[in-house]
Each structure stands twice: as structure tokens, then as C-alpha cells.
Structure 1
Amino acid sequence: MADVGVRPARLADAAAVAGVQVRAWRHGYRDLLPKDVLAEVTGPEATETWRERWAEAATAPPSPRHRLLVAVASDIVVGFAAHGPAEEPDLDAAGTAELITLLVDPLHARAGHGSRLLAATVDLLREDDFTTLVTWVFEDDEVTRTFLGSAGWAPDGTARTLDMGEEVRQIRLHTDISVHADG
């Protein structure tokens, strides 16, 4: 088995993180987003923008409670997760965090990287005294909903519609990450 793990992202990881994002979106969102939108957000110009944003997230996050983690297998970045305090006005930012994204390269899917990223994220958030974790998912994204559902996530009743030339609906999921939640 390859040497696998999760660690904080470094500046040198930014291009690999952007590459994972683009491949994961092209694969996972191909039936969820309008084709022209998907092409735009995964094209070469967008990939460079993502690389710059992930470099900034790794080196100058908006706060000490914002983090970018990478999953590695044999020193190759195969997935990543980003989190920070929840920003929606209906949530308590002191106790609620948002899983901004969690993506695994489709070439390395179903090897436990997503679960390791999620566990590391929860561990760090608990250290920061968060008790609830939320995330937004496309309503029709059964793969992500099933993955998170198996980890105890459920819809919290909040939804939003994104205008991408056609309406795309997202739902917010939540889970209890307080220490007592493990049993």
C-alpha cells in the first residue's frame, strides 16, 4: 500500500490542488452543471486562477481558523479539503464551521482519501472549539450526498439556487462534530 496521509497544504501544492479540483469537477459535475459553465470553470485560464487562490489559501488564509489540507499518496497530492468559520448570517460563526470543499482526484477515488480528509478536518475544527459543521452540495450530487450521509451528515432544510444560465439547486448539509458526537 502506498504511503498515505493528510497534511496542511504548502505553497508548492497549489498547482496540484488546482489540478485535482479541475479533474474532480470535470468528472463529478459533468451531469450537474451546464456544459459551458463547467468548461469555463475548468479551462486553462480558470485553472491558473484556482492555482493562485489555493496558493493564497495555503500561505495567507483569511484567519487562523481557515485551513487547507491535502491528502497525499506517495508524496503526490490526490485530494484536498478547505474549511473555515461559517459565514451565513443564520449560523453561529463561533461554533459552526463550513467545509468549503472536499475533493479527491477521480484517479484516486475510493481509496479512503476523502474519509481521511474529513476526519482531519473534524479533528482540527474540534481543536478550534467548533461543534457543528455545514457544507453546500448540489442537490442532485448523489455521490457526495451518499459519502457525507454515511458520515452522519443530513440536510438542515436550507437551500439556494445558483443561476448558471440555468438554475442549479444546492442544499446545505450539517453534522454534529462536538466531542460527545463520537459516542
Structure 2
Amino acid sequence: MPTADVSARPAVPGDEEAIADIQLAAWRATLGADAVAGLPRDEILAQWGAAIEAPPSRQHRVFVATDGPHVVGFAALAQGEIIALEVAPEHRRLGHGSRLLAACVDTLRIHGTSPVRAWAIEGDEAREAFLASAGFAEGGIRRGMDGPAGEMAELMWRADLS
């Protein structure tokens, strides 16, 4: 079956392998290899498999970006919030993140959801620049969370879709 050279589509069973690898690579790039070294890949893989095959609600979605037949990025939505959006480091700055963001926003618009929220690790200037260029603004909320390297903070970004 012919496929587009680059696209974003809903994730299907089997995509979880690439999603887990992309997530771990992105975390290595952002948090450092030592912080990610001990993470259980099999548990991450199982969580993504469950998110694809049995999402907890109709408001939960997983999308993948493809380059030819290869999955090169992913995004996950949960109740009006983009909870993950990652592109493999070697495929960044090629439009995959924008395609994934568009798939999320289109889905939220179809469901009448506005505003949309996204999170960026505090100090992740590339993520913050990407969100700002897509029309998001800082939302004024900071949350702490456990990360692979210990406590970390995320900043909320938001955009109005109406």
C-alpha cells in the first residue's frame, strides 16, 4: 500500500516499539543518559501498548508521525491536554512535531475542546520555542513531578482553539 512520505496518523498496535524508543531517546537528550539508563523499557512499552489498544476514554488518543514507513515521532492527548509530544532527535526540525500538534489540535476542535494545554520541562528552551511559535503562551502554572533523575518541574502552556 502506498504511503505519504511524511504524515501524522492515529497510532496502531505495533507502533509502541517505536514510541518507547523515541520517548527514551528524547528523555536521554533532555535529562541525560544517566537519568534514563535504569528505566524499565518493557514497562514503558507495555504502557504505550495499552494506551493504543485500550485507551481509558474517548478523549485519550495517541498519534504517530511517519517518514515513509518509519515512525519518527508521537503525541498523546488526554482530556484537552497534550501529555506527550516527542520526535526522534535525528528527525527534529523537519515538520513532524508540527504535524503531530496539528493532529492533536484538529482532534480537540472536532470534540469542541478549548483551551488546549501542553507541558514543557522547565528550561527546555527548544520545547518552549516550539510551543510559542505554534501560538501557545505560558499558562502561569508550574508543577513538580518525579522524573528519572529525581524531582523536576514542568511549565504549563496553553492556547485557545475557539
Same fold (TM over 0.5): yes
Does the C-alpha gap of structure 1 residues 163 and 56 become closer, same or farther in structure 2, counting only changes over 3 Å? closer
RMSD: 1.6
Counterpart of 2:101 (choices 94, 108, 118) is 118
User: Residue 163 of structure 1: CA displacement?
Assistant: 4.8
Identity %: 42
Which range is displaced more, 20-29 or 139-148? 20-29
Contact 2:28 2:35 in 1 (8 A): no
Aligned to 1:181: none
Aligned to 2:49: 55
CA–CA separation in structure 2 for the residues paired with 1:40 and 1:172: 27
TM-score, length of structure 1 as denominator length: 0.81
Deviation sequence 1:143-173 (CA, Å, 0-9, x none): 1000001111111111122355654222111
**Match of 2:21, as an amino acid?**
G
Aligned to 1:168: 152
**Match of 1:177, as an amino acid?**
L
SS class of match (1:40) = coil
CA–CA separation in structure 2 for the residues paired with 1:163 and 1:55: 22
Deviation sequence 1:117-157 (CA, Å, 0-9, x none): 00111001111110111122111110100000111111111
User: Residue 82 of structure 1: CA displacement?
Assistant: 0.1
Aligned to 2:37: 39
**Match of 1:171, as an amino acid?**
L
TM-score, length of structure 2 as denominator length: 0.91
SS class of match (2:14) = helix
**Match of 1:9, as an amino acid?**
A
Unaligned runs of 5+ in 2: none
Larger radius of gyration: 1
Counterpart of 1:105 (choices 77, 85, 88) is 88
Deviation sequence 1:68-107 (CA, Å, 0-9, x none): 000001110000000011xxxxxxxxxxx11000000011
